[in-house]
Structure 1
């Protein structure tokens, strides 16, 4: 029954996403939603290393920038087709992730986070200063849109929306298979306790590194999609504030869940869009709302709902205590 409910819920969300272009008022709404989908892919990757493995990577936006600049440099400077450059974007980010992970994952807790924060800033500086490769602060302009595939032309906003949606659905399906597998349970065991996981025979470094590389692979793919969609890149994409944005999406939706980062990555940008009428005061409203969510829903929207469902299921399985029959007094003659 639980699996059926989950399937129905995901199917409903997919149908809603497919119908959105017909409900959107203009192309701007499609742009906002498509960008939210791209960041949802990157957030799902961050959730793997942070929510499921317990390692908070603050260089995640840097790896997203690596994927984006892979597409930008190869298509603009070397004339490579978008699809070939996009196929390489995730692998280039993952290859760099191997070297970063081998060094950073020797650290734990906040030491790991501080180290990756430094790595992320180094990535930002390399993109900004290495003008011969990245074009520096000028950025990369004129990135081509994805080439048509048969009759499918991706030059229109609606076609680009469905393309991004397709990759989002594929990313969520792959991530679902990962976290529900033995490998995913290994990651969760490491998150819960390094010592206990090691006592169970789990190789900590190897599995942490695998989680890290898979995480940045998703970030690289999201960056490649971002480059093909926006068609302009600047060093700002590597800024740590984007990692904090993705962290906020996880916290609001529910860290360590599959649906939570998706809802957070879609809901928070739309909330900020609707608060634009307040102009410079919108963060005065958005800030307290976020604080209240963290206080009253510490596990996020999806995490809180799942915890309540588990408590209800546990209460339903718990048998009622047997009634105590009233004692009968025995009278002796």
Structure 2
């Protein structure tokens, strides 16, 4: 039974479920929401790499999400670039801008860093909103094309787009897992646990934080580009600060510094908000207390709560006074 419930089998089950989801969902609306969950999850994984594993809070993340969306939109709509070339350009631009922003912002620490990055995110929003001749201002960009075919594979249907976003999500999770379980990931965690101690053992904290920040910005821009290709219309609201806080809530609810937390938190909160749409402006009266209860009673998120329950179950299984796990000791009589 334990083998059936192993982590590997659990991952296989979730993957198979995700692959067959288009055939079991009752309508296209749910599949549309699942496609959005894939996109948001990619962005939240980016937040997790920097905030979850290095312990720094960046509020400029949504700004890079908007940069990815507008880079793809402008290059495909106004410059008439090929979709995949524009998609690649969005990732490259995010790396360059992320490096420059991180190089300056990481000179600050703690809440000063959070405030600085929030200002950066707001400046990005203002540029999008006010630079009317380039971005379209409040009118936004209309007619953003979807992904162009790759050989015989086309992405015209909702199902094909869902599989494309799912592919990028799986790739994001794979890259994140490789980073976390590598020496680089252990270095990030060491910085999160104690930056001073990390410095004493020879870790260059600023260089590693800068690397984590750039990776985070890259995932945000990729998610933004996918979002623009999916909704086909973007406005300044894709860079609004409240959207960044929503992404952060997804991560906190799911579990900071965990591999499955971003997707669990995003999936749960997105479907919860969608199910409360009938309440319109009153939905926050119910949604707010739910978030508050989860944060108060489960500060490590849902994944942390599940791990805590597992530990308690394992402890209860151990009988008091038993020698389980220890070598036999012969009595001296």
Aligned residues: 326
What's the RMSD between the two structures over aligned residues? 2.3
Residue pair 1:49, 1:55 contacting (<8 A) in 2 also: yes
Structural mapping, 1:115-264, within 5 Å: 115-264=116-265
- Relative to 1, partners in 2 of residues 1:310 and 1:177: Cα closer, same or farther, differing over 3 Å? farther
Mapped partners of 1:81, 1:318: distance in 2: 63
Q: CA deviation at 1:184?
A: 0.3
Mapped partners of 1:192, 1:260: distance in 2: 19
Q: CA deviation at 1:270?
A: 0.4
Out of 256-265 and 132-141, give the one that drifted further.
132-141
Residue pair 1:91, 1:220 contacting (<8 A) in 2 also: no
User: For 2:299, what is the secondary structure of its paired residue?
Assistant: coil
Out of 143-152 and 273-282, give the one that drifted further.
273-282
1:84 aligns with 2:90: no
Paired position in structure 1 for 2:102: 101
Mapped partners of 1:205, 1:52: distance in 2: 14
Q: CA deviation at 1:148?
A: 1.1
TM-score scaled by structure 2? 0.92
Residue pair 1:140, 1:234 contacting (<8 A) in 2 also: yes
Out of 87-96 and 252-261, give the one that drifted further.
87-96
Paired position in structure 2 for 1:42: 43
Residue by residue over 1:119-153, the C-alpha shift from the partner in whole angstroms, topping out at 9 and shown as x without a partner, is 10000001111122212111111111111112221
User: For 1:58, what is the secondary structure of its paired residue?
Assistant: coil
1:56 aligns with 2:62: no
1:270 aligns with 2:263: no
Q: Which entry has the higher C-alpha Rg, 1 or 2?
A: 1
TM-score scaled by structure 1? 0.92
Paired position in structure 2 for 1:331: none
User: For 1:83, what is the secondary structure of its paired residue?
Assistant: helix
User: For 1:164, what is the secondary structure of its paired residue?
Assistant: helix
Where does structure 1 lack aligned partners over 5 or more consecutive residues? 329-333
